[in-house]
Chain A
């Protein structure tokens, strides 16, 4: 009996260890496609080399939105500001997260974003939370949507399995993603300074 106990103990501990190490490989959650939020056509051509090892989390520092209708409008606003006012080829972020708990497709997994500096953009996926998170936090459903998006990225091979999350203020001189959101992402297991 002791022999079996030894082997069982080993098997159980191995299982626990691997269980803790593995990421949750769920099917990819819903992402609101560009067409649906009435995005302007992208003029970007520079691709990202996949898989990408870094994710940069920012906030738009603008208005937040808590319904799909409002967030659709807000996504358009952000894109207009980037494309028309700043002259970018498209909205700068790869993905946008709304307080409605939905993920909005920006440049997506394959196109290089314009969300941080020239060194980090080709090396990272930029996700932004629509709103200003200096004084308040995004609701749990928005954080869930972001985490689900990142798990999806790994599942699709767009993100390395050992990807690292960084706050926008870690890689650029900025207040983004806001004090509250920064403190939250610092607790994420994939966060590395």
Chain B
């Protein structure tokens, strides 16, 4: 029973990390009420110089709300202010500069810089820059703790060049930096639930799991599937020795 639970747990961890890696990275900003949020979205001058550019909010219901729009090709200005949203297109550098002033708690949510190419393509705009997850808190002591494991991510630098020093940004996993799930899994493997019952069965689980982890880590470090093959061979010969209780 314990073994099955452990298997299930491992699979759950694995699948959840796969899903996390597959999601496009969000950029999280945590600010207080009254502060100003700033971000620079970069667009390709070659592709989108004459395209409409918009700052949109994604509602929980999946709707897109255009908060501000710049359309220089149609003769519009390069700076636009709509309420507390300020947008400026710096065409020579490929920058859409976004500012939201005097933040309120209700401003918390998901935002995107998009290219709005065609009136008919309103439902499928092209996203440039990571989606922005804005969290506005009432009180400094209310700042929520990070929900992921931020210490695993190298890109977590508060002073990124295109973000003002007033904001903190925590870049979540991009599909390429999958390294964070290994520490998580090793933590689960070394949990106290493993070596509690001193039966031969549990010892086999513990030893084989540790050896699996060692082989996987070696395989990763050496970038070779040879280790995975060795793993198969070792486990086959090792697993055949003690009595298999399932049979």
Contacts and interface: CB of A to CB of B under 8 A. Distances in A.
Interface of A: 1-4, 6-8, 10-15, 17-19, 21-22, 24, 49, 53, 117-120, 122-123, 160-162, 166-167, 169-173, 182, 189, 193
Interface string B40-74: 00111111010000000000000000000000000
**Closest 8 A/B residue pairs (Cβ):** A170-B44, A169-B46, A193-B44, A21-B178, A119-B93, A11-B216, A123-B161, A117-B93
Given A170-B44, A170-B47, A171-B94, A15 B220 contact: yes
Contacts, number: 119
B213 to A, nearest CB: 8
A6 B239 CA distance: 13
B246 A162 contact: no
A17 to B, nearest CB: 6
Interface stretch (B81-89, B141-149, B169-177): B169-177
A160 B239 contact: no
A7 B46 contact: no
Contact of B154 (A4, A12, A160, A169): A160
Given A123-B161, A161-B154, A167-B46, A19 B220 contact: yes
27 contacts: A1-B239, A1-B244, A1-B246, A3-B3, A4-B236, A6-B10, A6-B11, A7-B7, A8-B232, A10-B11, A10-B14, A13-B14, A15-B216, A15-B227, A15-B228, A21-B179, A53-B161, A123-B162, A162-B155, A162-B171, A169-B45, A170-B45, A171-B45, A172-B93, A173-B49, A173-B91, A193-B44
B110 interface: no
Interface string B12-53: 001000100100000000000000000000111111010000
Chain B interface, DSSP helix/strand/loop, else mixed: helix
Nearest to B216: A11
Given A3-B3, A10-B11, A160-B155, A172 B45 contact: yes
A118 B94 CA distance: 12
B161 A122 contact: yes
Nearest to A14: B216
A2 B246 contact: yes
A17 B18 contact: yes
A10 B246 CA distance: 20
Contacts of B160: 53
A161 B175 CA distance: 12
B159 to A, nearest CB: 9
Given A4-B239, A119-B93, A167-B46, A14 B14 contact: yes
B12 to A, nearest CB: 11
A12 B209 CA distance: 13
Contacts of A15: 216, 219-220, 225, 227-228
A7 B45 contact: no
B244 to A, nearest CB: 7
Given A11-B228, A22-B220, A160-B155, A17 B161 contact: no
Given A171-B45, A173-B45, A14 B182 contact: yes
